[in-house]
Amino acid sequence: MTDIDRKSLSKPHEIHTRRFGRNAGTALCLVGFCAVVFGLTVAKIQDGGLMEAHDHQPRASVLPVTEGTDQ
């Protein structure tokens, strides 16, 4: 067996077993964080009403309201 084979990641190393709990916990936290950000995004969009980014083009909804007009 070569030195590379002994260090190959494909072969479970003792450290994988030793740190399984820590790695699994970290993975769960990351997945949970992604889920929270996704859920928050959905909630914000549902509650957010009209949200339009400025696209450097005049449009009715961004023009000031003037008396006598039907904007």
Partner 1 sequence: MSDFTAQSSAAQAFPGAPEAGFGDYVALLKPRVMSLVVFTALVGLLVAPGGTSPMVGFTAILFIALGAGASGALNMWYDADVDAVMKRTARRPVPAGKVEPREALTLGLWLSALSVVMLGLATNWVAAGLLAFTIFFYAVVYTMWLKRATPQNIVIGGAAGAFPPVIGWAAVTGDVSIASVLMFGLIFMWTPPHFWALALFMKSDYHEAKIPMLTVTHGRAETRRQILIYTVLLAPVALALAVTSVAGPAYMATALVLNAIFLKGAWDIWRRDELAAEADGYAVEKRVFKFSLIYLFLHFGALLVDALMAPIWGGPVLGLI
What value, to the nearest 5°, has the Cα angle with vertex 9 and ends 19 and 33?
50
* The two three-digit tokens of residue 43, written as one number: 């909630």
In the complex with partner 1, which residue's Cβ is closer, 33 or 63? 33
In the complex with partner 1, which residue's Cβ is closer, 31 or 43? 43
* The two three-digit tokens of residue 39, written as one number: 């859920």
Binding-residue pattern over the window 23 to 62 for partner 1, x denoting contact by CB under 8 A: -xxx---------x--xx-xxx-xx---------------
Q: Is 15 in the site for partner 1 (CB under 8 A)?
A: yes
Give the CA radius of gyration of the chain.
27
